[in-house]
Structure 1
Amino acid sequence: MPAPSLRLSGLLVLLLAACNQTPPPATDAATPPPRPPVPGPSLSALTDSNATALLTRYGVEHPASEVILHTRLGDMRVKLYDDTPVHKANFLLLARKGVFDETVFNRVVKGFAIQGGRSDHRTIRINRYHLAPEIVPQHFHQRGALGMARYDDDQNPGKLSSNSDFYFVQGEKLTPDQSAAMAGRRLTAAQQRTYATKGGAPSLDGKYTVFGEVVEGLDVIDKIAAEPVGTDKWPAKDVDIKIEVVQ
C-alpha cells in the first residue's frame, strides 16, 4: 500500500506551496490610467522673464491652428492667429495641459463679452506670469473675437496680458460714427462696416491683444451671455469649459 501514501504526501506539498504564494496586488478597475506627460515647458516654471522665449519655441515645435471649446450650451470652433505667436502658443499649452478644463466662464456681461479661465476648483499648479502685448491692427474686437484679459492694471503700465484669463466678444451693432468714436485707434472703412453689420466692442481696440476668432458656433456666445449672473457677473450655474486642440 505505499503508492497511495506517496500520492497523498505529494498532494499535501502542493497545497502548502499554493498557500504560501503571495497573491497578486488588488487593482481598482475604476481608477483611470495616468495621463501621459504633455510636452512643453512646466507651468510652474514660466515667469515674466522667460515666458516669451519658452512659448515662442513651444509654438514652433508644437503648432496648431484651431481649438474647439466645449460647453453645456454648445461648442465653438476657434481659429488662432499666426501673427500673435506668444498668445497662441500660451493658449495651446494651457489647453493641452488641461488647465482650461478646470475652469469656467467667470464673468459674463451681456451685450459686451464673456470671460473665462478661472475657477474655484483648479488643481493644476501654474505660475501667475504675464504675456507681452501682441496688438495687431487688423485684428479687432468684432463679434466672436478672442482676446486676452489683464490683471493688476494699476501695476501694469505695459498693459501685459493675463496668462489664463481670456474673453470672447459679443458686443453690439454700431454705426460707423459710433464705432469710430469708441475705438482706441483709427479704424479702417472695412472694420467700421463690420462693426455696423456684425457688431463688436471697439472700445477695446488697441488696448488688448486679439489672437483668434470664432469661426463656428457664434450663437453659443449669445447663449452664455444670456445666463443669469450674480452681482459679480459670475453665472449662477457654472458654464464649464473643455478645450480640444485640433491638430
Structure 2
Amino acid sequence: MAMYTPEYQPNGSEIAVIKTSKGAIRVQLAGNDAPIHVGNFVELARKGFYDNLKFHRYVPNFVIQGGCPNTRDLDSDQVVAAAGNPFAGLGTGGPGYTIKQEYTTNPNNSHEDGALAMARSMNPDSAGSQFYLCLGPQHNLDSGYTVFGQTIEGKDVISELRVGDVIETIEIENAD
C-alpha cells in the first residue's frame, strides 16, 4: 500500500469537533507534534470520509475505536452484530493508503485520558483512517502508537460511546 504525505500543513491550533450520536467531542489537535497525522485527519474530515461511520471497537477502561470505512454501509445494529467476528472485516478498512508513524518523533506522545491516536496493524507505518480515544491513561501504548490530539471537551461523551454509535461528522476549527 502506498505511503501518503498529506498536503495540509497544520498550524498547531486546529480543533476537531467529532459529532457523534451521543454528543460532541472537542479535541485539540497536536499539529506541531504529529503533523502527518493531523494533516491526514484534517484532509479526511474535510472530505467527509468519517461521516456516518460507526465505532466498531470498545474495550472498557481502554479505548473506543472508529474510522473504519467498512462500517459505512452498515446500520448500528449490524455493526454491533459483526463486532468481534474476524470475518466481518470491521477494523480492517482504510483510506487506500498509509501514513508514516510519528510516535518516535512526537515529543508529547502520551496516551492520557481522552487522548486521540491512530490505530494501525503490526507495521508501524500502517495507520490510515482508524483512530481511537483513550478511556483512561494507556501509557503502555506510548512507544507504539501516535497520539495526535487531546480531548478538551466531551470526555463524558467518550465514556458513553459504544460499538455501533455513529460518527455523524467531524468538523475542523482553526484550520488554514
Under a length normalisation based on structure 1, what TM-score does the superposition of the two structures give? 0.56
Aligned residues: 149
State yes or no: 1:243 paired with 2:170: yes
1:68 alignment partner AA: V
CA distance in 2, matches of 1:77, 1:111: 20
Which structure is larger by alpha-carbon Rg, 1 or 2? 1
In structure 2, do the counterparts of structure 1 residues 95 and 63 end up closer, same or farther at CA, with 3 Å as the change threshold?
A: farther
Q: Which has the higher strand share?
A: 2
Higher helix share: 1
* Distance change >3 Å, CA 114–CA 127, structure 1 → 2: closer
2:15 corresponds, among 66, 90, 105, to 66
1:75 maps onto 2:75 in alignment: no
Change (3 A) 1:127 1:214: closer
With the length of structure 2 as denominator, give the TM-score of the two structures.
0.77
> What is the match of residue 138 of structure 1?
108
1:4-62: CA deviation from partner (whole Å, max 9, x where unpaired): xxxxxxxxxxxxxxxxxxxxxxxxxxxxxxxxxxxxxxxxxx931xx12xx1x3226x8
Structure 1: 5+ residue stretches without partners: 1-45, 172-199, 228-234
The CA deviation string for residues 140-199 of structure 1, in whole angstroms up to 9 with x for no partner, is: 011000000002x1xx2xx1142101000003xxxxxxxxxxxxxxxxxxxxxxxxxxxx
Cα contact 1:47–1:127 (8 A) shared by 2: no
The answer for the alignment partner of 1:165 in structure 2 is: 130
1:104-146 deviation line (CA, Å, top 9, x unaligned): 1110111100000024335xxx742111111124220110000
Q: 1:120 aligns with which of 67, 71, 82?
A: 71
Trace 1:1-247 onto structure 2 (pairs within 5 A): 47-48=2-3, 51-52=4-5, 55=6, 57-59=7-9, 65-81=14-30, 82-118=32-68, 119-121=70-72, 127-135=95-103, 136-151=106-121, 153=122, 156=123, 159-171=124-136, 200-224=137-161, 227=162, 235=163, 238-241=164-167, 242-247=169-174
Q: Is the 8 A contact 2:8 2:42 kept in 1?
A: no
Identity across the alignment (%)? 38
CA distance in 2, matches of 1:127, 1:166: 12
Q: 1 CA distance for matches of 2:156 and 2:145?
A: 23
Separation of aligned partners in 1, 2:152 and 2:134: 13
Separation in 2 of the partners of 1:132 and 1:79? Answer: 21
Tell me how far apart the structure 1 counterparts of residues 49 and 145 of structure 2 sit (CA, whole Å): 22
Q: Please list every run of 5 or more consecutive structure 2 residues that lacks an aligned counterpart in the other structure.
A: 74-93
- In the alignment, the residues of structure 2 paired with residue 120 and residue 218 of structure 1 have an alpha-carbon distance, to the nearest angstrom, of 24
Q: Is the 8 A contact 2:13 2:28 kept in 1?
A: no
